[in-house]
Structure 1
Amino acid sequence: MDTDLIRAQTPGTRHAVHLNAAGSALAAAPVLAEVVAHLTLESEIGGYEAADAAAGRLAASYGTLAELVGAAPGEIAFTESATRAWDQAFYAIPFKPGDRILTTTSEYSSNALAYAQAARRHGTVTEVVPDDADGTIDLTALEESLGRGGVRLVALNHVPTHDGLINPAAEVGALARAHGALFLLDACQSVGQLPVDVSALGVDLLSATGRKFLRGPRGTGFLYVRGGVLDQLEPAVVDLCAADLTGPSSFTFRPDARRFESWERSVAGQLGLAAAARYALDLGLDAIAERVQGLAARLRAGLADVPGITVHDRGRHKSGIVTFGHTSAPAATIVQGLAARGVVTRVSEQTYRYDDGPTPAARVRASVHYYNTEDEIDTAVTTLAALLRTLA
Structure 2
Amino acid sequence: MLDQQRVREDTPGCLDKVFLDSAGSSLPPRPVVDAVVSHLRREAEVGGYRAAAERADDLAEVKASIAELLGARPEDIALVESATRAWADFFYAVPLSPGDRILITEVEYASNAIAALQRARTAGAHVEVVPSTPTGELDLEALHKMLDERVRVVSLVHAPTNGGLLNPVREVVDLAHGVGALVLLDACQSLGQVPLDVVELGVDALSATGRKWLRGPRGTGLLYLRPELARTMEPAALDLHGAQWAEESGYRLAPDASRFEFWECSVASRLGLGVAVRYLLDLGIDEIEQAVSARAEYARTELSTLSGVTVRDLGGQRSGIVSFTVDGVDPNVVRKSLADKDVTVTVSGRGSTFVDMSKRNLDGVVRASPHYFNTFEDIDRLVAAVAER
Where on the TM-score scale, by shorter chain, does this alignment land: which range? over 0.9
Q: CA RMSD in A?
A: 1.3
1:96-135 matches, within 5 Å, as 96-135=97-136
Q: Per the alignment, in what secondary structure is the counterpart of residue 118 of structure 1?
A: helix
Q: Does 1:375 align with 2:377?
A: yes
Q: Per the alignment, in what secondary structure is the counterpart of residue 251 of structure 1?
A: strand
Q: Per the alignment, in what secondary structure is the counterpart of residue 354 of structure 2?
A: coil
Give the residue type in structure 2 aligned to 1:37.
Answer: S
| 8 Å contact kept, 1:174–1:201 | no
Q: Does 1:198 align with 2:202?
A: no
Query: Deviations along 1:246-291, whole A, 9 cap, x unmatched?
Result: 2222111000000000000000111111111111111111111111
Structure 2's unaligned 5+ residue stretches are none
Aligned equivalent of 1:362: 364
Give the residue type in structure 2 aligned to 1:68.
Answer: L
Query: Deviations along 1:139-189, whole A, 9 cap, x unmatched?
Result: 11111212x331110111110000211111121122222221111001011
Query: Deviations along 1:323-360, whole A, 9 cap, x unmatched?
Result: 10011111111100101001100011121534985862
* Structure-2 separation of matches of 1:232 and 1:57: 27
| 8 Å contact kept, 2:21–2:369 | yes
| 8 Å contact kept, 1:93–1:232 | no
Q: Which of 377, 385, 388 pairs up with 1:386?
A: 388
Aligned equivalent of 2:57: 56
Q: Per the alignment, in what secondary structure is the counterpart of residue 135 of structure 1?
A: coil
Q: Does 1:37 align with 2:49?
A: no
Aligned equivalent of 1:297: 297
| 8 Å contact kept, 2:149–2:180 | no
Q: Does 1:2 align with 2:3?
A: yes
Q: Per the alignment, in what secondary structure is the counterpart of residue 154 of structure 1?
A: strand
Q: Per the alignment, in what secondary structure is the counterpart of residue 279 of structure 2?
A: helix
Aligned equivalent of 2:181: 181
* Structure-2 separation of matches of 1:261 and 1:215: 22
* Structure-2 separation of matches of 1:122 and 1:317: 36
Give the residue type in structure 2 aligned to 1:264.
Answer: E
1:1-392 matches, within 5 Å, as 1-146=2-147, 148-351=148-351, 352-354=353-355, 360-387=362-389
- Report how far residue 383 of structure 1 moved: 1.6
* Structure-2 separation of matches of 1:133 and 1:289: 25
| 8 Å contact kept, 2:93–2:234 | yes
| 8 Å contact kept, 2:93–2:233 | yes
* Structure-2 separation of matches of 1:32 and 1:64: 18
Question: TM-score, length-normalised on structure 2?
Answer: 0.97
* Structure-2 separation of matches of 1:174 and 1:358: 29
Percent identity (aligned)? 48
* Structure-2 separation of matches of 1:149 and 1:259: 28
Give the residue type in structure 1 aligned to 2:322.
Answer: V
* Structure-1 separation of matches of 2:122 and 2:243: 25
Question: TM-score, length-normalised on structure 1?
Answer: 0.96
Give the residue type in structure 2 aligned to 1:362.
Answer: G
Q: Per the alignment, in what secondary structure is the counterpart of residue 295 of structure 2?
A: helix
What stretches of structure 1 move > 6 A for 4+ residues in a row? none
Q: Per the alignment, in what secondary structure is the counterpart of residue 120 of structure 2?
A: helix
- Report how far residue 317 of structure 1 moved: 0.7
- Report how far residue 230 of structure 1 moved: 2.8
Give the residue type in structure 2 aligned to 1:19.
Answer: L
Give the residue type in structure 1 aligned to 2:382.
Answer: A
Q: Per the alignment, in what secondary structure is the counterpart of residue 179 of structure 1?
A: coil
* Structure-2 separation of matches of 1:124 and 1:278: 41
Give the residue type in structure 1 aligned to 2:286.
Answer: D
| 8 Å contact kept, 2:157–2:185 | yes
